[in-house]
Amino acid sequence: MDGHIKNEQVMAEKNGFWDRFNQNSFIKNVRKHWMLYLMILPGIIYYIIFKYIPLMGSVIAFQDFQIFKGLFASPWVGLENFKHLLHYQDFHEVLRNTALIALYQLVFQFPAPIILALLFNEIRILIVKKTVQSLFYLPHFLSWVVVGGIVFELLASQGIVNAIREMLGFEPILFMQEEAYFRTIVVISGVWKEIGWGTIIYLAAITAINPSLYEAAVIDGANRFKQTIYITLPLLLPTISVLFLLNIGNFLELGFDQIFNLLTPMTYSVGDIIETYVYRAGVLQGQYSLTTAIGLFQSVIGFALLWIFNRLARKSEQGLW
Amino acid sequence: MKQSIGERLFQIFNYTLLFLLAATMIAPLLQLLAVSFSSPIAADSKEVFLIPVEFTLDTWKHILQNEVLWRAFGVTVFITIVGTILSMLFTVLTAFPLSRKDFLLRKPIMLMMVLTMIFNAPMIPFFLTVREVGLMDSIWALIIPGLVSTFNMVIVRTFFLGIPSDLDDAARIDGCNEFRLLFQIYLQLSKPVLATIGLFYAVGYWNTFKTAVLFLRNPDLWPLQMRLRAFFTSEEELAAVDLIMGDFDFNTTTLKAATIIFATIPIVLVYPYLQKYFVKGAVLGSLKE
């Protein structure tokens, strides 16, 4: 229903645009507002060179790309690279790691800021709220190199975590070298870094809720908990749904920086993800076509998930489009 | 207002939990700060808990005399200042026409730019393109390939759209052209949003890492984050430190801690300003149109 109206609007806008275009008013427009065209020119050139040309360059996934022949002379091989991938042991492992870590992030990292925002909302003393919030926002601004360094230092054999373990009478553990801990460390460090930042949008949405709703609920005898469950949370749902969709589109893109800075050769078997693998096999070893095929595969999965979940979201709430 | 016992208990629980979690946000940095001022023996024998043990400045003296680190610091300062200025300029110049109703190509160009937020190119074609452009092993590789952030551009455009158009008419009657309209009127009115995206860009440039990994083979050009990473991972660099150690009172544990703090100090220094503006920006960017 909503989508239908939207479609009509888009059609109308399109018609308007082409009508004006056809009336040759485009040239008039350029003449009259040539400064606007001049202003946007550098931006357009930037987007073409660094966004669209690489996007078009993805076609090397269907080639046997050779750097000296270039894009136009390299032979086309159809789906050969993708077929190769399916039988490729490394790819299975990397894909499994990526999907698992992505799933853990979705389950733990996505809801964390929602819960934190609800807890923030229960703090009544403004100065306490502000102070606590500023502490929570800080890690967002640190680079993953720094956070990775912090994690390695704190979890090292002489680090504070092992110091505490020793005090409690446990054996020290080399956390960063053990496969069993890697994904947990990825999730915890991710939550630590981004949980505070993630609350901002939810807090803004909570502020926008009409206070009279709460007043009415109080008169009906709802306590704070019930107000949260029956008013705040339902009214946050559209925000949650939009952020979920934005997230799901990048489902398999875990962020190169984080994994790259936490990974050691000892943990490759559980932590090597698409992006780190593509970097090593593609950028360092020059298997351009194969790794582009992996990248393209990743994008297609992301877009498919976005499309599916957007359809689902449109049925109940609102989608992205 | 009266509170039930349950609510009061929850309040106590909530405050305790949030204080503890907030403490974990800052405690790791304080711990490393303490380690960086401790003697290496104390640091390695797990005696340091948030307060330096056997206080010494040797680690910091060594760090602050490390030319390689200062060189990387210089590269980062350069790309942060030059990059932020260029990015702001490109962003504003792109956002302004896209906010003008007179601009006929406004919709298709906006669509073309926003689409790149959903479809971003895989790493390898991006890498090959940047190499083809000739930016390999150039300091500009840290700036130009990521010059405009679509997110920031949308923030600025949204802000421009909110400026009342009466101003335009007044300006036009005064014979003000579009460049002057942008630079003398719109930008003057947009200072808070410019501060926001300026800080976003600056932090982004300060934390530049991936582009350096991809495009810089020459260690002389490495920015601070890349140098830190090399310092954490490469044994040779740490060994070189051990060789010259001699009488000094530091080791790789305290040095690593100090370099982490070194790279964090500038962020912490601008943090109060950051905080003033970023909340606004993060919310503005999420507005849908």
Average pLDDT over residues A227-253: 88
Task: Supply the CATH classification number for the domain A80-316.
Answer: 1.10.3720.10
Residue contacts between A and B (CB atoms, under 8 Å): 261
* pLDDT tens-digit readout, A112-158: 999 999 999 999 888 999 899 999 999 999 999 999 999 999 998 88
Cα dihedral value A277, A283, A286, A287, nearest 10: 40
Q: What is the mean pLDDT of residues A63-81?
A: 86
Contacts of A120 in chain B (CB under 8 A): 18
Neighbours of B126 (CB within 10 A): 22
Looking at residue B235, its pLDDT comes to 57
Q: What is the value of ipTM here, to two decimals?
A: 0.90
CA distance B31 to A89: 42
pLDDT tens-digit readout, A172-230: 899 998 899 999 999 999 999 999 999 988 998 998 899 899 999 989 888 888 899 99
d(CA A162, CA A152): 12
Which of A145, A153, A219, A259 to mutate to test binding with chain B, by most B CBs within 10 Å of its CB?
A145
Q: Contact, B39 vs B56, CB < 8 A?
A: yes
How far apart CA A141 and CA A8 sit, in angstroms, is: 43
Inform me whether the pLDDT recorded for B249 exceeds 80: no
User: What b/e sequence results for B230-257 when a residue is b if at least 16 CB atoms lie within 10 Å of its CB, and e otherwise?
Assistant: bbbeeeeebeebeeebeeebbbbbbbbb
Q: Going by C-beta distance under 8 Å and a sequence separation of 6 or more, which residues neighbour residue B202?
A: B80, B84, B270
Distance between CA B143 and CA A38 in Å, rounded? 22
| Separation in Å, CA B8 to CA A122, A128, A214 | 11, 17, 19
**Any CB–CB contact under 8 A between B101 and chain A?**
no
| Beta carbons of A201 and B283 less than 8 Å apart | yes
Q: How far apart are CA A278 and CA A98, in angstroms?
A: 12
Task: Please name each of the domains of chain B with its CATH number.
Answer: 60-252+265-289 (1.10.3720.10)
Q: Give me the mean pLDDT over the B51-56 stretch.
A: 89
Q: Determine whether B16 is exposed, middle or buried from the number of CB atoms within 10 Å of its CB (0-12, 13-18, 19+).
A: exposed
- Considering CB atoms only, which of A149, A160, A275 is closest to B123? A275
- Residue B119's pLDDT is what? 81
Overall average pLDDT of the B149-170 stretch: 87
Give the Cα separation of A74 and A26 in Å (integer). Answer: 40
Query: Does residue B30 have a pLDDT over 70?
Result: yes
Q: How near does any CA of chain B get to the CA of A224, in Å?
A: 8
Q: What is the pLDDT of residue B1?
A: 52
The chain A residue lying nearest B275, using CA atoms, is A134
Stretch (H or E) spanning B60: helix B58-64
- What are the Cα distances from residue B92, in Å, to A47, B52, B146, B185, B278? 15, 47, 15, 13, 18
> What does R_g of chain B's alpha carbons equal in angstroms?
24
Q: Of A142, A127, A122, which Cα lies nearest the Cα of A225?
A: A122
Q: How far apart are CA B91 and CA B102, in angstroms?
A: 19
Of the CA atoms within 13 Å of residue A299, those in its CB half-sphere come to: 18
pLDDT, tens only, A272-313: 999 999 999 999 999 999 999 999 999 889 889 988 988 888
Quick one: pLDDT at residue A89?
85
- CB-nearest partner of A58 from B93, B125, B148: B125
User: Which pLDDT value is given to residue A320?
Assistant: 67
Side chain identity at residue B141, one-letter code:
A
pLDDT of residue A3 exceeding 50, the answer is: no
Domain map (residue ranges) of chain A: 80-316
Can you state the percent helix, strand and coil of chain A, rounding each to 5? 80, 0, 20
Q: At what angle do helices B252-285 and B5-36 cross, to 10 degrees?
A: 130
B243 inside 8 A of chain A by CB: no
Residue with more model confidence, A149 or B278: A149
Nearest one of B234, B263, B244 to B72, comparing CA atoms: B263
Q: In the structure, what pLDDT confidence band is assigned to residue B240 with cuts at 50, 70 and 90?
A: low
- To test the contact with chain B by mutation, choose from A143, A202, A299 the residue with the greatest count of B C-beta atoms within 10 A, namely A143
For an interface test with B, give the residue of A142, A193, A202 to mutate (most B CBs within 10 A): A142
Identity of the amino acid at B280: K
Burial code of B140-173, b = ≥16 C-beta within 10 A, e = fewer?
bbbbbbbbbbbebbbbbbbbbeeeeeeebeebee
CB A221 within 8 A of CB A184: no
CA–CA gap between residue B154 and residue B111 (Å, rounded): 11
For B4, counting Cβ atoms within 10 Å of its Cβ (0-12 exposed, 13-18 middle, 19+ buried), the class is: exposed
Helical H segments across B119-251, by residue range:
123-133, 150-161, 166-173, 178-180, 187-189, 191-206, 210-215, 224-233, 235-245
Q: What is the pLDDT of residue B208?
A: 94
Q: Is B107 exposed, middle or buried (0-12, 13-18, 19+ CB in 10 A)?
A: middle
Asked if residues A162 and A172 have their Cβ atoms less than 8 Å apart, the reply is yes
* Average pLDDT of the segment spanning B195-213: 93
